Each structure stands twice: as C-alpha cells, then as structure tokens.
C-alpha cells in the first residue's frame, strides 16, 4: 500500500494598503448611507473594485494623527497605552505646538524602540515581526513614521520588516516630484524630509506615488518567484501635504472647475487609486489574487483645518471637522477588506472597528495563533468573524478610546487636547484645556450638531467613568494645566466638577 501526503495549505498573502490623511469622503465609494457630492468629485475605480469583492466597513476608526495610528497598527495597542500620542520627528524632541493652558505630558516622543532601557519606550512585538516568525516575507514600501530621526524605530528593518523601500522618520514627503528629487529643498525645508532610496527615479518625470508602486510591484514579483508568502505594507505618502500636480490626472479636475489646491488633491487621490489597481492587477497576473487578503484604510481623517481649498472644516461632510479633531471627520476613515472565499462580495459592515483590531486580525489570518507559543496582549480584537459575515454578532456597546493630551496647532470643531470614548451610539469628548465636554449620539447625529450633555447626564457620567477607569488601568498620561500647576483631572472627576459636584479630586502637581 502507498499513502500520499497532502501538501500543506499555503497561508494567504497579506496586502495592507495605507493612505496618509485620506478622509472618509475622499472616494467615489460611498461610506455614508447615500452617495454625496464629494463621492461624485473623486474617481476611485480600484476602491470600487475592491469593495465589490469584499467588505466595506462604514465605521472604522484610527487615531487623530499619523504616528499614533501607525504605532497602534504595528503593535495592536491603544495610544494611551503605548504613549506615542502625537506625531514624531526629531530624537528626544516633542512636536507639540505652544498652548496658553496645556502642558503636554512626557509622551513617547521617540516612537517605537527595541531597547527597554530607552525612556518611555514602546517595546512590543510588531505585526511584521510576528508574521516573519511564521514564515512571511515582510515588505515595507513608502511612509514609515514609526519613530523619530536617529532612533531604531525610524528604520522599518528594525521593526520586523525584511525589506524597506523609502521608509524613514519623516511624516510627509519632501516633494512628490522626481524633478525635485523627492526633496524638500525647493521649499527650503530641512533635508530630514527627503525621501530615501528612490534616486533612480530622480529627474525621470515619475510621480512619487508611481515610483513607490513600481517598487512594491518588484518586491511582489520577487516574493512570488521565491515562492514565499508575503506581507506587503504599501504605505503611501499621498495624500499628505505639500500637494503637487500629478500630470496624469490633474487636468480632469481643473476642467471640472476645482481650484488648484483641490485639483491637486483630487489628482493625488486618483493616483493613489491607480496604485491600488496596479497591485490588484499584479495579484491576478501572478494567479494569487484568490489567496491574498487586501486591507485598505487611512491613518486618520482627512485634512481640513488648513492646507485645503475652500472653507476649513468642511472637507469630510457630512462628518464634522477633519484631521486632528475628536469629531468624526478627524477619526473615522475609509476601510475595505477583501479575502476571496471568506468575505462576501459587496458586503457592508456597520459595526464600528478600530486600528488596534488590525494586528489580531492579521495574525489570525496568517495562522500565527496556532504557530506561535504566545500571542502578545493588545487592545484590539480580531475582525475575522466580521470578514466571514459582515452582520455577525458583535459587542454592540464595545468601548473605543482616544487620548490626545497634545497640541496639534489649528483650532476648530473638536480640535485641541482631548480624550474620548465611544460605546454603542454614544461618544463623549473631554477637552482638557477648559474641562468642556461634548456628548453626541453619532448614529442619529453623524454630523455632531447637537451636544446632548444637558439632556443625557447619566449617559455622560457612565461614559466618563468608563473612560477614566480604563485610563487608570493603562496608566494614561494626563497633561498639566499652567493656570493651576496641577495635572488635568481624569474625565470622571472633571465632569463631576463641571456639573457642580465640587472639586475634581485631589490634584496632582505637575512634575
């Protein structure tokens, strides 16, 4: 008798396609209940193609700015826990703007570090590192922004990636134009912003988005040739400022009557979408599309407070405000997932999710749960049940937490140092500078027009207590108040004081 051994099932390839500063409405794919004028402005056929084959998540959330979201994606930890609560830049230097009242805490200004002795370091297993341990080739292409300049976390090769193309400490591009060497010299910027590793494209007329796409395609080709499963983290610098005209697409938007800033922005969106389409085509060309999970999302809400054409705080309508804001326009992002044979085509998931869910999801997809002795603890939960059935049972009142005890700079709706919680339909925002609170039912009032604090005080108190208890559990850092010399109280104490409940507990003096 003879027996045949069945070949091992090859784990699925994983493509994470991350866009920088892309808003919930910056696409022709409607994430709202109905199509909007902004959906009709943009042209994203590749996103539509991805949505037609997978799940559209209508209520996906990230942190309010870039580095916190990126560190959360890699570690599965909430920003209040990993303490990279603002964007990183230079070693040992905070990036906070000046504020008349708030003194930011000693947050982790250096981002991810592999050295436990580094003060305030984030020393957690990373998604690429864990996937590499179970046999994946891990590839980083594009913007990194995980750690400050001249720190180990600035280089993705130190964070579990086998390959790094163009990723370094900077949070934006020097330039999108090869004629400018992808450098910020044209705007008299520090050479810190110059994108590394793309010298062969200088002076060729190749737009940055296209150069990165070509590099990603080449790395995919190598992985397929070497017959190894891959995790490709395609992280575009688009659509971050400073905008530039992509000559392949901009004329469409100029002809449509958009001002030059908005025409450049819309062309950046379309160029990003072409990149997605090129990668999807390559998966099909290699015959691996049916064994590849593709996850698309943005790192935070769309820019709107400055740098855009037209009135500020309007570019994510019907969502309020934009990047940096505690309002939905600052934290709600587009997210699509296609996993052939698992996700139902053109399905829609209205359960809310967060960036911390990505690590446990992809570890389960990659089979790490059965192949690693210990999985790292985290703040997210696997979305695989929702990939299998978009309407699967899910904790309806699962709490999500945001913590931004920092100063981004601009002012406007939802902007300023804040903490927030969403549980069920309700979201409570605690503004640190003036102990002001907002309570919204974001299901009934997606534009956050009506503060329900006065007519739903019990709900506000319950949310403040839940948020404060969680902050105590993870050791969240509260900022200081220059006017009192003490730390800003936790939300439950601050809300009690605001409601006339007396002093907000025993104050802690600023160190």
The pLDDT score that the predictor gives to residue 501 is 52
**Could you tell me if 431 and 288 lie in one domain?**
no
State the CB neighbour count (10 A cutoff) for residue 100.
Answer: 7
CA distances to 155, 303, 413, 437, 503 from 330, rounded to whole Å, are: 27, 8, 10, 17, 32
Q: 195: which DSSP letter?
A: P
Mean pLDDT value across the chain: 94
Does the pLDDT of residue 6 top 50, yes or no? no
Mean pLDDT across 21-30:
98
Element (H, E) at 214: helix 208-225
User: How many percent of the chain have pLDDT more than 90?
Assistant: 90
> Is 314 inside any structural domain?
yes
Confidence at 2, pLDDT banded by 50, 70, 90: very low
Mean pLDDT across 44-69:
97
Peptide bond into 242 cis (omega under 30): yes
Q: Residue 459 sits in which domain range?
A: 417-498
Confidence at 511, pLDDT banded by 50, 70, 90: very low
**Could you tell me if 382 and 425 lie in one domain?**
no
**Could you tell me if 142 and 98 lie in one domain?**
yes
Tokens of 147: 């750690």
**Could you tell me if 372 and 233 lie in one domain?**
yes
Q: 53: which DSSP letter?
A: T
Q: Looking at 371, 388, 405, which one is the last position of a domain?
A: 388
The pLDDT score that the predictor gives to residue 336 is 99
CA distances to 83, 166, 175, 217, 240 from 199, rounded to whole Å, are: 35, 10, 13, 17, 21
**Could you tell me if 353 and 425 lie in one domain?**
no
Closest CA to 343 of 27, 50, 62, 60: 50
- Tens digits of residue pLDDT in 457-492: 999 999 999 999 999 999 999 999 999 999 999 999
CATH number at residue 427: 3.30.1120.10
- Tens digits of residue pLDDT in 275-313: 999 999 999 999 999 999 999 999 999 999 999 999 999
**Could you tell me if 322 and 471 lie in one domain?**
no
The pLDDT score that the predictor gives to residue 9 is 66
> Is 401 inside any structural domain?
no
**Could you tell me if 114 and 243 lie in one domain?**
yes
- Tens digits of residue pLDDT in 184-197: 999 999 999 999 99
Does the pLDDT of residue 152 top 60, yes or no? yes
**Could you tell me if 373 and 450 lie in one domain?**
no
* Cβ within 8 Å of residue 396, ≥6 positions away: 424
Max avg pLDDT among 114-128, 237-251, 373-387 = 237-251
Q: Is residue 72 a contact partner of residue 297, using CB atoms and an 8 Å limit?
A: no
> Is 504 inside any structural domain?
no
> Is 505 inside any structural domain?
no
> Is 276 inside any structural domain?
yes
The pLDDT score that the predictor gives to residue 509 is 39
Mean pLDDT across 257-285:
98
The pLDDT score that the predictor gives to residue 115 is 64
Element (H, E) at 54: none
CA distances to 403, 444, 494, 511 from 506, rounded to whole Å, are: 22, 37, 12, 15
Confidence at 500, pLDDT banded by 50, 70, 90: confident
> Is 48 inside any structural domain?
yes
Tokens of 503: 């002093």
Mean pLDDT across 196-204:
98
**Could you tell me if 56 and 104 lie in one domain?**
yes
Mean pLDDT lowest for which of 244-248, 282-286, 439-443, 501-505?
501-505
The pLDDT score that the predictor gives to residue 63 is 93
The pLDDT score that the predictor gives to residue 225 is 98
**Could you tell me if 215 and 84 lie in one domain?**
yes
Does the pLDDT of residue 101 top 80, yes or no? yes
- Residue by residue, DSSP assigns 222-283 as HHHHTT--EEEEEE--TTPSSP---TTTHHHHHHTT--HHHHHHHHHHHHHHHHHHHHHHHH
Mean pLDDT across 249-274:
98
> Is 62 inside any structural domain?
yes
Mean pLDDT across 157-183:
98
The pLDDT score that the predictor gives to residue 153 is 94
CATH number at residue 255: 3.40.720.10
- Tens digits of residue pLDDT in 104-138: 999 999 999 766 655 555 667 899 999 999 999 99
**Could you tell me if 423 and 359 lie in one domain?**
no
The pLDDT score that the predictor gives to residue 376 is 77
Does the pLDDT of residue 3 top 70, yes or no? no
Instruction: Please give, one letter per residue, the 3-state secondary structure of 310-359.
Output: CCCCCCCCCCCCCCCECCHHHHEEEEEEECCCCCCCCEEECCCEEHHHHH
- Please state the domain count of the chain: 2
Beta bridge partners of 56: 336, 348
> Is 402 inside any structural domain?
no
**Could you tell me if 66 and 121 lie in one domain?**
yes
Mean pLDDT across 352-379:
90
The pLDDT score that the predictor gives to residue 507 is 40
Taking the CA atoms of 108, 111, 112 and 114 in sequence, report the sign of the dihedral they define.
negative
């Amino acid at each position: 008798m003879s027996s045949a051994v069945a070949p091992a099932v090859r784990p699925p390839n994983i493509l994470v396609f991350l866009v920088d500063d892309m808003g919930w409405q910056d696409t022709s794919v409607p994430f709202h209940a109905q199509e909007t004028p902004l959906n009709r402005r943009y042209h994203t056929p590749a996103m539509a193609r991805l949505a037609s084959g997978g799940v559209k998540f209508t209520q996906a959330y990230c942190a309010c700015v870039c580095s916190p979201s990126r560190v959360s994606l890699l570690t599965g930890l909430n920003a209040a826990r990993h303490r990279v609560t603002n964007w990183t830049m230079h070693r040992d230097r905070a990036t906070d703007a000046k504020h008349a009242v708030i003194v930011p805490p000693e947050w982790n200004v250096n981002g991810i570090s592999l050295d436990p002795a580094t003060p305030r370091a984030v020393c957690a297993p990373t998604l690429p590192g864990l996937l590499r341990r179970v046999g994946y080739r891990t590839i980083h292409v594009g913007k990194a922004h995980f750690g400050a300049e001249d720190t180990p976390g600035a280089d993705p090769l130190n964070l579990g990636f086998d390959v790094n193309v163009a990723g370094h400490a900077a949070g934006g591009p020097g330039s999108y134009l090869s004629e400018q060497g992808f450098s910020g010299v044209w705007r008299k910027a520090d050479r810190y912003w110059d994108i590394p590793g793309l010298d062969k494209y200088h002076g060729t007329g190749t737009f940055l988005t296209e150069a990165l796409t070509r590099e990603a395609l080449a790395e995919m080709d190598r992985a397929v040739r070497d017959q190894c499963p891959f995790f490709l983290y395609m992280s575009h610098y688009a659509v971050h400022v400073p905008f530039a005209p992509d000559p392949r697409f901009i004329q469409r938007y100029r002809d449509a009557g958009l001002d030059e800033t908005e025409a450049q922005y819309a062309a950046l969106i379309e160029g990003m979408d072409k990149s997605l389409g090129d990668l999807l085509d390559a998966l099909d060309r290699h015959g691996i599309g049916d064994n590849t999970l593709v996850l698309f999302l943005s790192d935070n809400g769309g820019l709107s407070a400055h740098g855009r054409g037209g009135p500020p705080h309007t570019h994510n309508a019907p969502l309020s405000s934009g990047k940096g804001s505690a309002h939905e326009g600052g934290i709600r992002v587009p997210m699509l997932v296609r996993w052939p044979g698992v996700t139902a085509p053109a399905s829609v998931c209205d359960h809310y999710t967060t960036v911390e869910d990505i690590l446990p999801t992809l570890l389960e997809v990659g089979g790490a749960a059965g192949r690693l002795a210990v999985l790292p603890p985290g703040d997210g939960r696997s979305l695989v049940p929702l990939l299998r059935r978009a309407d699967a049972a899910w904790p309806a009142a699962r709490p999500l937490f945001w913590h931004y005890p920092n100063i981004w700079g601009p002012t406007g709706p939802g902007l300023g140092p804040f903490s927030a919680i969403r549980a069920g339909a309700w979201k409570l925002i605690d503004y640190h500078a003036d102990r002001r609170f907002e309570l919204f039912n974001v299901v009934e009032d997606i534009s956050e027009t009506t503060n329900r604090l006065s007519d739903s005080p019990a709900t506000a108190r319950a949310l403040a207590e839940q948020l404060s208890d969680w902050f105590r559990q993870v050791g969240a850092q509260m900022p200081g108040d220059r006017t009192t010399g003490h730390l800003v109280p936790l939300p439950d104490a601050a809300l009690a004081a605001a409601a006339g409940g007396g002093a907000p507990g025993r104050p802690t003096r600023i160190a």
